[in-house]
Amino acid sequence: MSGKKNALIWKLESGDKDASYLIGTMHVKDAAAFSRVNDMYAAIDACEVFATEFNLEEADHNLTAETMDLKNGQTLQSLVGKKRFKKMAKRVEREFGLDISLFNGSLPLLLSNMLTEQILSDDMQHSLDESLYRYAKEQEKTTLGVETFLEQMEILGKIPIDIQVKQLKDMLGNLGAYRKHVRKLAKAYRQEEIGKLYKATKKSMGSLRKLMIYDRNERMAERMVKMMQETSCCFAVGAAHLDGGKGILRKLKHSGITLSAI
């Protein structure tokens, strides 16, 4: 790797092939995350293909709903207990203005993700990754996915329910600390400190890091190398996937790709 190690945009070169690019994104609407969006647009302009983690055109809302629904008559209230559910409901209403009963039939993960998004500012109409996708479509780029939508749904379906419940309890039980954690991640992203992003995300994943990070990094890096052999590609994936010993950057380098920070 050449240039600074901390960067959100990387140029990928392999032999005499046209250069490709890798962008680290964050699924937020906070304007602070858009500080390098023009450079990201330039990377998209330079390539034939734009590939997000999964092709957003593949999104199946029926499948998403089915995946996110609790099974076998379970409810969030039955999982956490009536007393805890009532306490959670008051806290979510007070802190976020959300009615927790709307999530009673959904996986705890859905509520956790919703609350996490609420912590940061909602400045932009679309999240950063969706904004990049929309730009690529406007430029008439071919849009693909490094993973498939079904693969992402299958991963979510493998997260044990007890771990989801614990994460939600921990979040709402110490909301101040969780807000600080999310804002720390956002600050690290804004400052392009991908090493900090990786370490903080890995720590928060606990026993899920293999499923959520390492296995996906392996799969995405392999597919990126194959896609780059076909044409120039601009890849946009979560920034926490870039760094680390099992990160995408390291795996691309080991595959013979020359990496240059932009």
pLDDT-derived band of residue 57, with 50, 70 and 90 as boundaries? confident
**Please, which pLDDT band fits residue 62 given cuts at 50, 70 and 90?**
confident
Strands 20-25 vs 9-13: parallel, antiparallel or unpaired: antiparallel
pLDDT above 70 (res 159)? yes
Mean pLDDT value of segment 153-179: 94
Among 1-5, 41-45, 147-151, the minimum mean pLDDT is found in 1-5
Q: Between 60 and 242, where is the model more confident?
A: 242
Q: What is the mean pLDDT of residues 189-215?
A: 94
Q: Which amino acid is at 98?
A: L
Give which of 74, 35, 103, 62 is closest to 239, Cα–Cα. Answer: 35
pLDDT over threshold 70, residue 4: no
The reported pLDDT for the residue numbered 189 is 95
What pLDDT is recorded for position 48? 98
Residues contacting residue 21 through CB under 8 Å, at least 6 positions apart: 9, 10, 11, 12, 43, 44, 46, 47, 233, 234, 235, 262
Helices (H), the chain: 37-45, 61-68, 76-80, 82-96, 108-119, 128-138, 149-157, 161-173, 175-190, 194-205, 209, 215-230, 248-254
pLDDT of 1 higher than 70: no
For residue 65, the model assigns a pLDDT of 78
Q: What is the pLDDT of residue 53?
A: 96
Q: Which element (helix H / strand E) includes 257?
A: none
* Domain regions of the chain by residue span: 9-69+106-261
Q: For residue 51, what pLDDT band results from cuts at 50, 70 and 90?
A: very high
pTM: 0.93
What is residue 98's predicted lDDT score, i.e. its pLDDT? Answer: 94
Question: How many C-beta neighbours within 10 Å does residue 65 have?
Answer: 11
Give the orientation angle of helix 108-119 with respect to helix 82-96, to 10 degrees. 20
